[in-house]
Amino acid sequence: MNTKVLDANAPEAIDLAARLLAEGELVGFPTETVYGLGANALDPKAVLSIFAAKGRPADNPLIVHIWHQRQLEGLCEIPEGAEKLMRAFWPGPLTMLFSRTARIPNEVTAGLPTVAIRMPSMPCTQRLLRACGLPIAAPSANRSGRPSPTLASHVLEDMDGRVPLILDGGPCQVGLESTVLDLTHGQPTILRPGGITREMLERVTGTEVLLAGSILRPLQPNEQALSPGMRYRHYAPKGNVTLVEGPETAVLEALRNRCLEDRQAGRRSCVLCFTEHMDVLADCDPHDIGSRKDEAQVAHRLFDILRRLDQEGMETIYSEVVPPEGVGLAVMNRLGRAAAFRTLQVGNKEA
């Protein structure tokens, strides 16, 4: 199959994408979070082809994308409290779980009684969803296990020859996947942190929003995954990533020592560090993850950097960490999983 890449802001490209989706084909498209790989959510065969193109396990359910709330009629039940969240955060990077009806195929939800719904905010995404008029099931447009794509070139890297069309809308603004919020089990619970933070949600719900246990640690052997996606190894570069945590001077020293020791042992190593530390770590092949004062910038850059590590053949990678608050929680969830939560604690915690 020949894969076309077209400008997402060209009306002809949107028309072609809408036609392909209506015919049961797959289309790669931008959103404000990451690029998605879309198919008609009401067509089980089209949905199955998403799993084939990604190499995704069949028991990991998909998010359904809409541009208008009225598309939900007959598909799911909107629980009390959800309306307020929709008004506050839709369109935007918030996915909510609702009880579903039989109109949503099992292929979308992996047989679960709930369906994940999101209304993306990027104007070209909205134009696409509107033009095709269908609810679109779309996971991130990466091959399973690879970092999510935040540029059309990332989608092409993973999906060339597997899909007829990729829409190029430039870099994704947020750069990490949407916040997934479960509203079907009593107290609202974040299953996956993202651009809409716990603090933002709590301000609207007026109640405590819980965090799923395995956001900042590995799932325990007997622990049930609230979200099937948490069971899988994700965002993992081929090299070994270690997070280094502690007071600034101790972290910088450890990053440097570890990286140079590995290099002496013949391993290809580098550090992921804040812009402010690029100079002091200049001899450690530093990769700039963004300013330490700007977690949103780190979120925006992270997946592109993780992808580059593989291209560069990195064997060991040492990374700085951000505080797990606000968008920093989403950053630490993705970085933690890239590192299989391997963390080196250095220096004196009190310092």
Q: Which is nearer to Mg ion, 171 or 323 (CB)?
A: 171
As to burial, measured by CB atoms within 10 angstroms (0-12 exposed, 13-18 middle, 19+ buried), residue 283 is: exposed
Angle at CA 314, nearest 5°, toward 312 and 319? 115
Secondary structure of residue 271 in the 3-state scheme: strand
Q: Which is nearer to ligand TXA, 173 or 316 (CB)?
A: 173
The CA-atom distances, in angstroms, between 129 and each of 3, 118, 160, 298 are 21, 12, 23, 29
Min CB(146)–Mg ion separation in Å: 9
Q: Is 270:284 a contact under the CB 8 Å cutoff?
A: yes
Site for Mg ion in 81-120 (CB under 5 A): none
- List CB contacts of 222: < 8 A, sequence separation 6 or more: none
Min CB(77)–ligand TXA separation in Å: 13
Question: What does the alpha-carbon distance between residue 116 and residue 110 come to, in Å, rounded to a whole number?
Answer: 11
The CA-atom distances, in angstroms, between 143 and each of 53, 54, 148 are 7, 4, 8
* CA torsion, ordered 70, 74, 80, 82, to nearest 10 deg: -50
Min CB(130)–ligand TXA separation in Å: 16
- Strand segments, DSSP code E, in the chain are 4-7, 27-29, 36-40, 63-65, 76-77, 94-100, 114-118, 136-137, 165-168, 179-182, 189-192, 210-211, 240-245, 269-273, 286-288, 316-319, 343-345
Min CB(174)–ligand TXA separation in Å: 8
Q: Segment contacting Mg ion (CB under 5 A): 47-55, 119-127, 137-145, 211-219? A: 137-145
The interface partner of residue 124, options being ligand TXA, Mg ion, none and the CB cut-off 5 to 8 Å by kind, is none
- The residues that touch ligand TXA, with contacts defined as CB under 6 A, are 31, 33-34, 36, 60-63, 95, 97, 109, 112, 114-116, 118, 138-140, 177-178, 180, 191-192, 227-229
Q: Which is nearer to Mg ion, 107 or 320 (CB)?
A: 107
Task: Please provide residue 165's backbone torsions phi and psi, each rounded to the nearest 5 degrees.
Answer: -150, 135
Q: Which is nearer to ligand TXA, 181 or 346 (CB)?
A: 181
Q: Which is nearer to ligand TXA, 30 or 286 (CB)?
A: 30
Min CB(247)–Mg ion separation in Å: 34
Min CB(172)–ligand TXA separation in Å: 9
Min CB(15)–ligand TXA separation in Å: 21
Min CB(64)–ligand TXA separation in Å: 8
- DSSP lists the bridge partners of residue 270 as 317
Q: Is 305:344 a contact under the CB 8 Å cutoff?
A: no
Question: What does the alpha-carbon distance between residue 24 and residue 18 come to, in Å, rounded to a whole number?
Answer: 10
Interaction pattern, residues 10-39, with Mg ion; x per rule: CB under 5 A: ------------------------------
Q: Is 316:332 a contact under the CB 8 Å cutoff?
A: no
Is the N-terminal amide bond of 149 cis, ω within 30° of 0? no
Residue nearest to ligand TXA (CB): 229
The interface partner of residue 183, options being ligand TXA, Mg ion, none and the CB cut-off 5 to 8 Å by kind, is none
Total residues at interface with Mg ion (CB under 5 A): 1
User: Binding Mg ion by CB under 5 A: which of 49, 109, 125, 140?
Assistant: 140
Q: Which is nearer to ligand TXA, 81 or 347 (CB)?
A: 81
Q: Segment contacting Mg ion (CB under 5 A): 21-29, 140-148, 165-173, 219-227? A: 140-148
The interface partner of residue 34, options being ligand TXA, Mg ion, none and the CB cut-off 5 to 8 Å by kind, is ligand TXA
**By the criterion CB under 5 A, which residues form the site for Mg ion?**
140
